[in-house]
Amino acid sequence: MVSNLSEISFGQKLSKDFRFHHIGIATTSVDDDLSAWGFLGYYSETDFFEDVIQGVRGLFLISTFANMPRLELLEGLPGSKTLEPFLQRGPSAYHFGYLVDDLQNAIRWCESNGGIVIAKPALSTAFGVDIAFVKMRSLLIIELIESGSFDREERNV
């Protein structure tokens, strides 16, 4: 039995080129969940967006409390099955979003560490830049957001 976490090898660490941006949360209704997140100190950072390529509608939330992560609440568009696997037990945190300077290089890094691209690069409605999704061996899903022309203050996300 391991008595100290420092004795455990967790494998390759995330590239220093990945900058944390948000946690993506799948829900059946963003509108219905907003009050619960508000109770926890979260409020809307953006207007709603619809991304027909990804098959989702959502918005970003930030907290009134320091050091709380940005959240992206997402629901499926009518007829979309994108989020169904993640909603089998109710709302679910299902991806971590990271800003990267070079999307193709970040994808190669993920693949070299056992990742599989599950959504090829495509223009994101929420960001106005290309994004891709990669499932890592641990089943963690990473959203890669190309930040080359991404201006956080201009887009407010």
pLDDT tens for each residue of 103-114: 999 999 999 989
Strand intervals (E) in the chain: 19-26, 42-44, 49-51, 56-63, 71-76, 92-100, 116-123, 130-135, 141-146
Average pLDDT, the chain: 87
pLDDT tens for each residue of 77-93: 999 999 999 998 888 89
Q: Which CATH number fits domain 15-149: 3.90.1150.10, 2.40.30.10, 3.30.590.10, 3.10.180.10?
A: 3.10.180.10
Mean pLDDT of 144-156: 64
- Global pTM value: 0.81
